[in-house]
Structures are given as structure tokens and as C-alpha cells.
Structure 1
Amino acid sequence: MPRLIPYIQHQFNPETKNDRRGIEERKHAVKQAFKHSWNGYKKHAWLWDEVSPISGEHKSTLGSWGATLIDSLDTLLIMGLNGEFEHAVECLHDIDFSRPIAPSINVFETNIRYLGGLLSAHDLTEGKHQVLLDKARELGDFLLSAFNTPNGIPETRWNWSTPALTHESRRENIFIAELGSMSLEFTRLSQITGDTKYFDAIQTITDILHKTQNSTRLPGLWPVLFDPNKLQFPGTHFTVGGMADSAYEYLVKEFILLGGRLDQYREMYISAVESMKLNLLFSGMTPDGRATLFSGDVRFDSKSDQKAFEYQTEHLKCFLGGMVGIGAKVFDRPSDLSIARDLVEGCIWAYDLMPTGIMPETLYLSGCRNVSCEWDEERWLRGILGRTDERNMPAQVREAAEQIAFIQGLKPPILEVADPTYRLRPEAIESIFILYRLTGEKSLQDTAWRMFQNIEKSTRAEHGYAVLNDTRDTESAKLDVMESFWLSETLKYFYLIFSVPDCLSLDEYIFNTEGHPFKYLNVK
């Protein structure tokens, strides 16, 4: 029998009517933002993958199966838009998942957005709509064909019209996120259908990850790149950011979904988190002494094997606080909860530091590892110029650094804004929502509201919400892009943090990396 997964959600006290009234107003505002986005898609891009929020044009970016429609199914249910949901479900009959229009597909994105969306809607409706399960099975069977390789490692950028087997000798290295982020969806499909073939497929990957985890250059962590032919990790870049993130996130979540039956996931999760703490985490050197924590990158020189640490953070890494918080509760690691809180605080700080109140895609910071991090203005200025070895700063050097900081809008301790865009990403609000549900800290709802208002102000467009070109500029232009995760994740998490706590309780549901909740069994 499955082991009991500990109850992890905070026991909330009943809210007063006045408290609930204010929260309901916030929730309503988020719902209106979703309806505006959904109506733009419905009017201009129905059954296409995305709508362009400024021009109103439609796009096919993810297999031409209606990505935004399927990615949004569970959000429609959660927000009580039942008529829109029923209409969308009816349209599923006309979608053929056995044969995409596009000549190749991204297996990872197809799995998390399409299969995840179908399974989540099936769970939330308790199997009421048979078409959801039928289409999930149809898509699962299609994706299984990508595993038809000699060693069972799937093609990830898959030319589906040619059997994957014939491409084995030409397969390139793949990202660890693509390799390790199919377990939740395939496991849930096996649980619902009773057919173990989907779980068996991803178990092959799990065994490889388990076997190789402690033999990489940073034991406990996998580099970004994996060689699917040699079943080795030749990469020299270690990160929990883009190209790696969800592979780590799925370790604790798969443990939960399986009811604790496989200790592989416990072992891998703990090894990974301990290695992150030792090798990747750093404190921000904040002028006000605010406790912030971030995850940097490590790169090895391929010839000398010397390693270099990069004080870099990115919006994608903001998922980490939520992951560590869940792991702290599930695996009874109470000291990790304070780490989770500081990781979340780091992302909140990055939002608050920008003139728009929105965190950019990628930042480099002055920071400290494994030591106290007291503010040092000269160290920050030297870092802007890359002159970190100097102890005394000539006046002209200081002036040059100050001028760069002014021109580039660098507030201390930011060294560089490598990518100033905001792509409507969900990772920060995801972790804030999870931490709120784990701790009951009401201030996190106020933080979420401040973030939502800033995003609303800077990204709203005629047919939805658009990518912000520069988070340092309150008059920044927008880019004509609105990916489906804006509706499936970002707005969902904003809505849930203002919902009653038993709405999708963390003691009953886990969320895949696209924000789709799956029901799990907590057996006593």
C-alpha cells in the first residue's frame, strides 16, 4: 500500500466576512484578466495555438492542436467559467492527436501543456467527460512512439513522420529538463487508465537519472546536457534554471503522486537539494540587509575541469522556493523551510527593485556564498566593471561604474540585466502561492496583489496581455506575444492565492510544471 504522504498545507483559521470581501475583490480582478485574455483568444485565434495580444493575429507554435484552449481547460473550471469549459470540451472531438499538422513536435512542451491539460481537466471533473480521457490516451499513445529508440530514451525534437528508430545515430544532446519532466503526466495517465505502459516508459529515464546522479562533476546534480546515445551527461553547465528546472521539480512531486512507493525519488530529491545548497545557492548583497537567497550557475572548463561560479538568477529559477518548501514538509526537513522562504523573498525583492515592479528574465548580482553578506558599495561598483580583484577604486573608475549603473538602470546590487523582458512567466507567483499555502502567512497575499497590479498595468493589451520589452522602463514597449502558460499558470496561481484554502488543497493535488493540478491519493 502507498505510504502516507504527510499533510503539508497550513491549517487556516476561518476568515471573517470583511477579510473575505477584500480578498474576493482581488480574485475577481484576476478573473477579469483571464476573461480578457480568453476572449481575445476565442475571438481571434480559436483552435489555433496562440493569439497575438496586440495585433489579434493567430499563431501555430505547438503542433497546431489548440494549445491555449487545452492549456486553459482547468483554469476555466477553477474560475467557474463552466459554459466556456463545456464549449471548449466539445471542440476536442475535432482535434486529432494521432497526427499533428506540424512536421515535428516538441515532446516536452506537448506533454506538459496538452497531456497535462487533458489529465487535469479529467481529474477536476471526476471523469465526467469521456472525451478528455480518450484524447489523453490518444495523445499518450502518440507520444509513446517518440520512445521507440534502441535504448528507450525519447526523441525530444521529434520528426514524427519518420520512425524515431531511424534517427538514433543522428540524435543530438538533449536538455535535462526535457529528459526528466515527463514522469507526472505519464504516471497519472497510467493511474487513470490502468495501463502501465506509460509509467514503464518513464521509469527507464528515472533509473538512468538515479544511476548517474552522484557521478557527475557536481554529485547530486545533473548538467544541462544529456547524451541520449551514450546515456551520459557530458555537459559542463549546472543550473536549476532554464533547460534544467522541472527535472528537479518533478522529483518530489512524483514521490507524492506515487504515494511514496518509490524511494528513488526521495533519494534523488534529497541528494539534489543538498548539492544545490552546497554548490549553487548564494545570498544577495542588499543595501538594507534584507535576507534574500538565489540559485546561481556553475560552469566547468572542459579542458582544465576548473569550475567558475556565476552570480546569476532568472525568473525561471523562482520555482525553486516552492519546490524546496514542499520538500521540507513532505520529507520532514524543517530547516529547509527557511531556505524556501528566503528563495521566495529573493524573487519578491527582484520584483520590487524594478521601476515597473516586475522581475526581468535574467539578472547578475553581487552576492556571497557561505559567508555573511554585508553591503559593500565599492565591491558592487567594481563588479559592474568586472574588476572584482581590485581593493582600492580610483575616482575615475568609480565614476565610470556609476555612469554605467545610471545608463543601464542598475540598482544595487544588480551588476547586469542580461535580459530585461518579462515574458508573463508564472514562477514567482507559483512559489509565493505554495509558500502561502504551506505557512499561512497573510502578507504573501498582499505581495501577490502588488505584483498582479504591476503586471496588469504594464502588460495589458487590446486582445490579451503582452510580453514587456524592458522591466526597467515604465514606458516600455510591448511584444506581440502571449504564450498559453499565461492562462494555465500565471493567472491560475494569482487566482488561487486569493481563493479559499481548500480550493485545490496541496493535501489533495500536486501541480505539474505547466500549473495543471493532478489528484493524488493520500492513504492512511
Structure 2
Amino acid sequence: MSFQIPNRVPAFNSAQREIEDGYWRAATTNSQFAKQSGIQLTERIGNFITPSRELPMYKDKPYYKSRGPYSGGRKRKKALWVAICIGFLVGLWWFLGGRSGHTRIVRPIGMKGGDMWKWMQEFEKGVVSGKEKGKTIDWEERKQRVKDAFLVSWEGYEQDAWEQCSLDQWLTLHVGKDIYEPLARKGKNMAEGGMGWIIVDALDTLMLMNLTTQVQNSRKWIQNSLRYEQNQDVNTFETTIRMLGGLLSAHYISKTYPDLAPLAEDDDGASGDDLYIEKATGLAERLLGAFESPSGIPFASFNLNSSQGIRSHTDNGASSTAEAGSLQLEFKYLAKLTGETHYWEKVEKVMEIIDGNQMQDGLLPIFIMADTGKFMGENIRLGSRGDSYYEYLIKQFLQTSGEEPIYENMWNQALAGIRKHLITYTKHASLTIVGERPSGLTEPLMPKMDHLVCFLPGTIALGATGGLPLSKARKTPGWNRRKEDEIILAKELVKTCWATYLATETGLAPEIAYFDIDKPPRMMDDVFSKPKGESEDGEGQKTTGKAKEEGIYLFSKPLEPLGDKNSAWREDVIIKPSDRHNLQRPETIESLFYLYRITEDEMYREWGWEMFKSFIKHTAVIEDETPKQNQDGSSEQSTSDDNSPAAKSSYIRAFTSLSNADTIPPGRIDNMESFWLAETLKYFYLLFSDKDFIPLTETVFNTEAHIFPRFKMGKLFKTGWKRKTEWKATD
């Protein structure tokens, strides 16, 4: 859908306008009280009565200049009186002998954990592979299994890391922790009072799954407890993609899909104001301090309280290319919503500086200096510190509905560079891999792929069709041989990513995989032959027979049968002991989601289903049910039916990361990543959902799987720079 610019721009009409006008009229910036738990009562109360000076949101001012905490005399006086009253009541409570309690939110064990454990026992025995109706797989049931896994994960977090600090029945503080350790059953904060790292990151997934109660609880926490004024240094990129992106996506989903986890009439915000935009704008203003470097390239970190940008404490103070080049979708969407052009201009300037370096074939080193805007080193890769820069090139083009062709041009150049310098094939099965050039493009290729690289096949397919199904894209006027080749490349790359899952004992991919390749490597640019013939091959391309054999049609060997340990492709995948961990990452399931939506091939759903079962089987935290003890020491026996939690012998209460995915039982890491909820389970859920749910042609996903709308730039926004040299295809 298309969002329009604000009132101060002369003439426009939009269905969104009525919604925007309503919530801007109703929006107020209320002082909230910081709600922080601690060991001592005095510490808790001291933190509680400190007013949270929320940054206001000025929609109609030309520049939102504020940096430091907001102060207002009237609100301060009000906060002071409230603090005095609370202090008096707490003192009275203490004098009367009250005791502070620091407890977890305790809820009965839900049926989902027990049901999932039973279901896991069944598929381990080969009893089920998903309910089938004749020969038709019930994808709705499979989608429900993903929702169940999400609920188990969320309820585990609520039980163990969403704490209540109770000062008797009249005063309860809620503390949603940023880090969850499911094995130790505890949470930790990244900053005083918490940043909502898990709550905000998972919020739009809660909405998509229509989990109304959980959304309402999260919204209340965001309204009453979320603040961004702590004296804490945080990462610019992670805070932008997870927190700012999460709030913006929650706004979009709640406004575009009001029937998903709807607000009740008496809920805060039901009258039209928008809590998520208010919080997003307050955070964005603090983030802007990171951009105040000599060059305009953002510093790697910033201080929440002062908004001051901070150089990286490692890497000689450099920022990473991926981090600097992956802030644009979030700030551009916020600019569109608020009408504040400075958000747009800050992140657009970053792209101009990066491209001004004019690196060979659009491939960039992974470090850039914020002081100078120049790259540091020659390490080129699409894994960590490089990945999402390339992802955001094509997504910026799609976000503004094709009105900024400069980013499509940058993407096409980079993809051509990837094909020329980074793509090679394995020795035995000709699996397509994306290698690294740690010493520059003229130095040897390293056949190493981070799991992070598996975002690429989905992004390539998205760029080729713009989100259209392939059957429709092939009928569009701009379809050509290059785009057809990109689809084939995407298919081959996602197959390699899938192979890294099949290569381990658990069926879950390692963090990093190496591959056995020829020496010298067969590079894609070497083996690809441009077509000279004129015969149609049935795929909308013109190729010669020789091109089919030697070119991009050099397909890899099949991975089946999956149980064959002697298959040729298994000799190609090398997993080193230091790389065997699995962090619940989403990139492969993300690409399967895109490939399924675009090719409409059910095979990608089936691969995803096998991956999901492996996650359930090997990352579940399972506990035995123990009977309750009566006061006389006897065990209390359940009288409920067999499906009740009390009757179950075991249940799944959480999911965790793995230290070794290549052994059974796998080694475990005591951590549930926030992106397990925000990305991995979201993409599983969307993969098994109807194809028209969250259409790709109307949306764009940020690199944390937060969903933004595509929009037209309108009169207020424009592309404010040009490339020094525009790339032109040679084929």
C-alpha cells in the first residue's frame, strides 16, 4: 500500500490519511515512570520514581532537532508530586512490615508444551510427518505446529524472564528482560530497565499469529516500561533493525491488518493514537547521534542517554559495511510516516559516501571508517559484516515502488560482481557456493560460507521478479535472459544451503561451512557461455545446446537419497569443530519462503518442514512433569484427562541454541536468540501460510524480518544523489 506525506505538504489524498490524522490528533507524550527491579527495595523505588523524560514527536516541524532528554516544567512538577506520594505510600508500607518480592510471572504450564512433546515422540517413531488428507498435505496444521512452537518459546520467556517486582498488592513493577537463558531459567538486561530486545523484536510475529492477549501484554509493557534514556552504549545497527524496525512493523501490521490481534475499545491506543510511532520516533532521535561523524558514516555504537556516537572498540574503530548500509529501510519508512525529511537524508547520505568509493564491480570491503568514509582493508564477503548491505540495495528500490532506480543499478552491478568473483562450484557434486576474498579480488578465493550468506538466494529471486510469482513475472515486458539466470542461480544456492542442514547429524546447519573445490576453482564467469543460438528452450530464453551443458545450466547433482552417507555431495561439505554451533538462524528458511512464493514449488515447503522438525527435535528444552506435593508430604495426583498438563510425563518448555549440531545428543548453548521469534519462526509460519498472506508485491522485509509497506515518494522525498559512474550490463 502507499503511504502519503503529512499535512504541511499542499495536496494529496489517501485512505491512510484518516488514520494518520486521527492518531496525530490524539497523540500525546506522557511522562512514564522507569520500572526497574533490583535487589534492594530502595534501589527499586529510586528507579521507579525517576520520571522517564520521553522525547516528544513534532510531526509538523521542519526539523526535529532534540537530542537530550525532554524536560517540561509542568510535567516535572506533576512527576515530583507523584514521586512524593509514592514515596510516602512505600514508606508507610515498609513501616507496617511489608516485604518486597522479586518473582517470575508464574502461569500454569500450558498444554502446548505437552502436546508438542507427544507430537515429537510420534514423528520420531515415524508415525506422522504431518497430517495428510489423501495425498494433500495439510499445511494449515503444519502452520499451527509453528504457532505452537512460538507459544512454547514465548511462554517460557514469560515464565522465566518477564519478571514482576511486587511491592504488595498495590504496586507491581514489570521487567521484560532482553536476554533469555532457557536452561538456567533466567533473563538478563542489556541496559538498565531493559530495552525490550525480545518483546519488541517479537511483537509483529505475535500480531501475525493473531495472539491477542500476548500482544496486549506486550503493548502495555511498551507503554509503561519501555524507555530509551539509559546511560548505556548500544550497537547502532542492531538497535535500528530490531527495535526501530520492530516498532515500525508493529505500527504497519496493526494499521493494515486490524483484525490480527485487535485492540479492544478500552485499550490504550484504540482511540487513534499510535504508541509504536511515538516510541519509534523517540528512539530514532537518539540514534541520529550515531550519524554525527566527520564523514556521515554512522559510528558502530551510540549512547542511549546522550545520543553520542561511539567508535567501535575493535576493528581499529571501523564500522562495518553491512551495519552502515542496512539502516535505510527503517529510517526512510519513519520519514514517510512522520514527514521528517532529515531521517531520509541521513541514511541516503550514507549510500552516497559508500558508493563514492567506486569499488571494483560493486563489491565492498567489510569495514569502513566513520571518520573518513573510506574503506579499511580488502576483505570482501557476503557473510558477517557484509551481508545486509547487498540485501538493502534491491530492497530500497522495491520499498519506494521502483522510483529510485539508482539502487537497482547498484544491485545489478553487485550481483554481476558476485557472479564473476565469488561464485564457484564444489568438486564432486557441483554445488554452487558463494566464497570469500579475504585479501581482495585479485587474491585467492576461500570456499567458506557463513550461514548468514543463505539470505542471498531469496534476495536474488526477489530482485528478479520484484515479488511476483515467476509464472506472472515471465509475462512482463522487462523479463529477459539475465533474470531467468538469476532464478536458476537462486535455486542452486538455496539447494547448497539446504545441503548444509542435511550434512549434520541433527539436520541443523552449522554456523559456517567450508567446501571442497577444484584448484584452481571453476568460477561461474569462466564456465558460463552466452547464448548464440535462436531456438527457444521453453523457459523464455534462447540458448544453444552447448550453453545448456557448459553455462549456468551446469546443475548440481541431486541430494537424494537423503539417507545415503556415500552421496557425492557429502564429500563436498566440510564442517570444522569450531563452526558446528547452530544459533537458530533464519537465513535459509527466509530464502525457502521467497523461493516458494516466487516459484510456487512445493518442494521448498517440504524442505522447510524437515528443517522445522529438526529444530523441534534437537533444540527443545524438555522437562519431566513432577506431581505437586501436599503439606503432609504426599503427592497430589491429577484427576484430569490424559491431555491435561498434569497427566503428561514430559513437556517442552523452551528452545535453545546448540554448541554442536553435528552430534546426537547435540551440545547446547544457554540462549534463545530474539531472532528465533522475530525471524526464524515467522518465516516458517509464512512459508506454511496461504500465498496471499502478507503479499510480497506490497511489502518489503527488513533484515530482521520486520515488515514495511512499499510506498510512493510523493512531493516531499527524492533521491538526493547520483552515481559517479552508472553501471551498464555487458550482456
TM-score between the two structures when normalised by the length of structure 1: 0.83
C-alpha distance 472-198 of structure 1, shift in aligned 2 (>3 A): same
Q: CA RMSD in A?
A: 2.6
Q: Name which of structure 1's ranges 341-350 and 306-315 shifts more when overlaid on structure 2.
A: 306-315
The residue that corresponds to 2:581 in the other structure is: 421
1:455-501 C-alpha deviation (Å, 9 max, x unpaired): 11110115421111112102122110111000000000001111011
C-alpha distance 464-161 of structure 1, shift in aligned 2 (>3 A): same
Q: Is the contact made by 1:467 and 1:479 (CA closer than 8 Å) also made in structure 2?
A: yes
1:292-345 C-alpha deviation (Å, 9 max, x unpaired): 3221100227xxx95121001121110000111111113842221100111111
1:90 Cα offset (Å): 1.5
Q: Is the contact made by 2:586 and 2:679 (CA closer than 8 Å) also made in structure 1?
A: yes
The residue that corresponds to 2:183 in the other structure is: 54
1:79 Cα offset (Å): 0.8
Alignment equivalent of 1:307, drawn from 429, 443, 451: 443
2:278 corresponds to 1:134? yes
C-alpha distance 81-176 of structure 1, shift in aligned 2 (>3 A): same
Report SS of the residue matched to 1:126: helix
C-alpha distance 144-43 of structure 1, shift in aligned 2 (>3 A): same
The residue that corresponds to 1:107 in the other structure is: 236
C-alpha distance 56-334 of structure 1, shift in aligned 2 (>3 A): same
Alignment equivalent of 2:662, drawn from 472, 482, 485: 472
Structure 2 counterparts to residues 335-374 of structure 1, below 5 A: 335-367=485-517, 368-370=521-523
The residue that corresponds to 1:399 in the other structure is: none
Q: Is the contact made by 2:506 and 2:666 (CA closer than 8 Å) also made in structure 1?
A: no
1:55-109 C-alpha deviation (Å, 9 max, x unpaired): 11102237721211001111011111012111211211124544135x2011100
Paired with 2:406 and 2:392, the residues of 1 have a C-alpha distance of 12
Paired with 1:157 and 1:430, the residues of 2 have a C-alpha distance of 27
The residue that corresponds to 1:400 in the other structure is: none
1:205 Cα offset (Å): 0.3
Structure 2 counterparts to residues 276-291 of structure 1, below 5 A: 276-286=418-428, 289=429
Alignment equivalent of 1:154, drawn from 298, 320, 339: 298
Alignment equivalent of 2:618, drawn from 458, 461, 464: 458
2:346 corresponds to 1:230? no
C-alpha distance 169-281 of structure 1, shift in aligned 2 (>3 A): closer
C-alpha distance 477-336 of structure 1, shift in aligned 2 (>3 A): same
Which ranges in structure 1 are unaligned for 5 or more consecutive residues? 3-15, 374-405
Q: Is the contact made by 1:351 and 1:358 (CA closer than 8 Å) also made in structure 2?
A: yes
Report SS of the residue matched to 1:125: helix
1:172-197 C-alpha deviation (Å, 9 max, x unpaired): 11110111000000011011111111
Structure 2 counterparts to residues 139-288 of structure 1, below 5 A: 139-161=283-305, 164=308, 172-212=317-357, 215-216=358-359, 218-286=360-428
The residue that corresponds to 1:25 in the other structure is: 141
The residue that corresponds to 1:382 in the other structure is: none
C-alpha distance 306-521 of structure 1, shift in aligned 2 (>3 A): closer
Q: Is the contact made by 1:436 and 1:444 (CA closer than 8 Å) also made in structure 2?
A: yes
Higher relative contact order (CA 8 A, sep 6+): 1
Report SS of the residue matched to 2:401: coil
Q: Is the contact made by 1:40 and 1:51 (CA closer than 8 Å) also made in structure 2?
A: no
Report SS of the residue matched to 1:65: coil
C-alpha distance 337-138 of structure 1, shift in aligned 2 (>3 A): same
Paired with 1:133 and 1:65, the residues of 2 have a C-alpha distance of 16
1:33 Cα offset (Å): 0.5
Report SS of the residue matched to 2:138: helix
The residue that corresponds to 2:250 in the other structure is: 121
Alignment equivalent of 2:207, drawn from 64, 77, 95: 77
What amino acid is the match of 1:205?
V
1:356 Cα offset (Å): 1.0
Paired with 1:251 and 1:71, the residues of 2 have a C-alpha distance of 23
The residue that corresponds to 1:329 in the other structure is: 465
Paired with 2:307 and 2:424, the residues of 1 have a C-alpha distance of 45
C-alpha distance 432-168 of structure 1, shift in aligned 2 (>3 A): closer
1:28 Cα offset (Å): 1.0
Report SS of the residue matched to 2:177: coil
Paired with 1:457 and 1:282, the residues of 2 have a C-alpha distance of 34
What amino acid is the match of 2:431?
T
Q: Name which of structure 1's ranges 118-127 and 28-37 shifts more when overlaid on structure 2.
A: 118-127
Q: Name which of structure 1's ranges 316-325 and 190-199 shifts more when overlaid on structure 2.
A: 190-199
Q: Name which of structure 1's ranges 483-492 and 460-469 shifts more when overlaid on structure 2.
A: 460-469
What amino acid is the match of 1:300?
S
Paired with 1:123 and 1:469, the residues of 2 have a C-alpha distance of 36
1:261-310 C-alpha deviation (Å, 9 max, x unpaired): 22221111011100000011122234xx4x53221100227xxx951210
Aligned pairs, number = 464
1:39 Cα offset (Å): 0.4
Paired with 1:353 and 1:121, the residues of 2 have a C-alpha distance of 37
The residue that corresponds to 1:445 in the other structure is: 605
Q: Is the contact made by 2:675 and 2:704 (CA closer than 8 Å) also made in structure 1?
A: yes
Alignment equivalent of 2:433, drawn from 294, 316, 325: 294
Q: Name which of structure 1's ranges 188-197 and 112-121 shifts more when overlaid on structure 2.
A: 188-197
Which of the two has higher C-alpha Rg? 2
Q: Is the contact made by 2:177 and 2:188 (CA closer than 8 Å) also made in structure 1?
A: yes
What amino acid is the match of 1:363?
A
What amino acid is the match of 1:369?
R
1:218-252 C-alpha deviation (Å, 9 max, x unpaired): 43111011112221112211000011111110111
Q: Name which of structure 1's ranges 453-462 and 90-99 shifts more when overlaid on structure 2.
A: 90-99
What amino acid is the match of 1:309?
L
What amino acid is the match of 1:273?
L
What amino acid is the match of 2:432?
L
The residue that corresponds to 2:70 in the other structure is: none
Paired with 1:165 and 1:85, the residues of 2 have a C-alpha distance of 33
1:117 Cα offset (Å): 0.6
TM-score between the two structures when normalised by the length of structure 2: 0.60
Report SS of the residue matched to 1:430: helix
Which ranges in structure 2 are unaligned for 5 or more consecutive residues? 3-131, 163-175, 259-268, 467-477, 528-564, 623-652, 714-731
2:232 corresponds to 1:87? no
Q: Is the contact made by 1:149 and 1:164 (CA closer than 8 Å) also made in structure 2?
A: no
Report SS of the residue matched to 2:500: helix
> Which structure has more helix as a fraction of its residues?
1
Alignment equivalent of 1:499, drawn from 659, 667, 689: 689
C-alpha distance 144-20 of structure 1, shift in aligned 2 (>3 A): farther
Paired with 1:345 and 1:168, the residues of 2 have a C-alpha distance of 36
